[in-house]
Chains A and B, each alone.
Chain A
Amino acid sequence: MIPVSIQMRQALGKLVLPLLVLLSIGIIIGGQADRKLADKARMTVADGLAPLWGLMTAAQNRAQAISSSLREAGRMASENARLQKENDNLRRWYDVAVSLTRENDTLKTALHWIPEPTPAFVTGRVVADSGGIYARAVLLVAGTDSGVRVGNVALAANGLAGRVTETGARSARILLITDIASRLPVMLDASHATAIMGGDNTPLPRLMYYAQDTRPIEGERVVTSDQAGAFPAGLPIGTVHYLHPGQPVVVPFAQLDHLTMLRVFDFGQALIDPPEAPGHVPLAHPRQTLTLPLKTLLGQG
């Protein structure tokens, strides 16, 4: 330190600020004049500070990760509580189901219930239908070789999809329930009332011919009915929905617009042959040839 007098020091002290202002103005002008140098200086400083910034970013990321995992833990705790409650509820339902099954078994035993045959089924991949007389039909890669017969029932993962109308050796055409040619007898699950579900080439087939005193209720389940003998009773189809007042439609459970796999069930409905009743003129069975009733009549005569 150079020894200077107090007056000199005070004078120098007063000069420092103006000098610095002038220096900064000089730097402004210099920086504008030589941008490359300014950028170089900037980059040198940034390079020096880069590890520090990296450290801060890492700390921030860590803090964010910790806070998010804490939030996640809180969410998981609430989810866990919810699941436990649901589990308790389900356990109760399990007990109810077990007791109901037992009761059902006892009742069936008491009634000498004849068990229904387990239906045979084959599963095939759906390929797009390129031809045919139907607007809403799909082609299944499974045919008579695999045991598929005309009139078999095709089920998607969670609901009825359609019926087999034509069969080849290795393929079968399935008429979907949305086709305009499709008319199915159905049953409304809540009221056990019957109706006809008719397709109209839209995704939502209409409900027709239901009894006026048991109208379909919004959200009601619709299942198949065994009225005409074409389907076994109780296959799930969909739920009732009102597009407009007085125009109920069925929202199918099966996603009919993009089917990938279909199970084709042979419920053996065709084998159910009503025993002969003398004096009773049977109506024409839909899938029995007309010769049969004639034969019966002839037999009678």
Chain B
Amino acid sequence: MMPDPSMSAWEPEIRPRQTVWQRLDHGARRLLPSLFIALIIIFFSAPLNIPGAAELLPALVIATVFFWSFWRPTGMSGVAVFLLGLFMDLVGFTPLGVSAFILLLVHGVAFYSRFGLMRLNFLLVWGVFALVAAAACLLQWGLACLFRLSMLDIAPALFEALLTIGVYPPLSALFSWILHRLDEKEDI
């Protein structure tokens, strides 16, 4: 038998070769969170007159990135986070690269502290997330101040931080349910 040059041959564990369908399935699972964020970005940047859309979009994106980087880093790789952040910057009116930078930092924190965080219960995780979200929003505000070279009003940043913290529990419930369903399918 010829050595298989495809990627699966270089995976650490030995697995049977995947069929096309299985590969599509896996790919879809990996892309699911990124697709969700992309759709959210497109939805919220459309002129639909949703109240608080400008604050709700970063809140949803930060919460989603944190959750998936924490529980399933395979579904939310660094490259995906970077591309999504860049996309958000391009669609929105933030300076180019700022969202990508902040989202990468959130991803990094969640990714490297995941083994510590996993032992904690939900409320503590939420507390850590609150700190991360507040830091992210303040960082965004600080960068905006830096680029404008003037002090901007901090109230929107605080509102965004509160919104981010508040949006995490329902999103986390939704994603936990999705993860549960995906794992069930995996078992079959």
Contact = CB atoms under 8 A, between A and B. Distances in A.
Interface of A: 1, 3-4, 6, 9, 16-17, 20-21, 23-28, 30-32, 38, 41-42, 45-46, 49, 52-53, 56-57, 60
Contacts of A20: 78-79, 81-82, 100, 104
A17 B108 contact: yes
Q: Which of A9, A27, A53 has the largest count of B CB atoms less than 10 A from its CB?
A: A27
B98 to A, nearest CB: 6
B133 interface: no
B96 A23 contact: no
Contacts, number: 85
Interface string B54-89: 000000000000000000000001110110011100
B98 A28 contact: yes
Nearest to B87: A45
Interface of B: 5-7, 10, 12, 42-43, 45-48, 77-79, 81-82, 85-87, 90-91, 95-98, 100-101, 104-105, 107-108, 111, 143, 147
A48 to B, nearest CB: 10
A263 to B, nearest CB: 53
Contacts of A9: 10
Contact of A1 (B5, B78, B81, B101): B5
B96 A27 contact: yes
10 contacts: A1-B7, A6-B12, A16-B77, A17-B108, A21-B101, A28-B95, A30-B97, A32-B147, A41-B90, A56-B42
Nearest to B108: A17
Contacts of B87: 45
B79 A16 contact: yes
B79 A6 contact: no
Contacts of B7: 1
Given A16-B79, A45-B90, A52-B42, A31 B5 contact: no
Given A32-B95, A56-B46, A17 B78 contact: yes
Given A30-B96, A45-B91, 4 more contacts: A17-B107, A41-B96, A46-B90, A46-B91
Contacts of A56: 42-43, 46, 48
A38 B91 CA distance: 11
When A and B form their complex, which 6 residue pairs have the shortest distance between CB atoms, in order from nearest?
Answer: A31-B96, A27-B97, A28-B97, A24-B101, A24-B100, A45-B90
A9 B147 CA distance: 38
B47 A28 contact: no
A33 to B, nearest CB: 10
Given A24-B85, A25-B101, A56-B43, A1 B6 contact: yes
Contacts of A60: 48
A27 B86 contact: yes
A57 B47 contact: yes
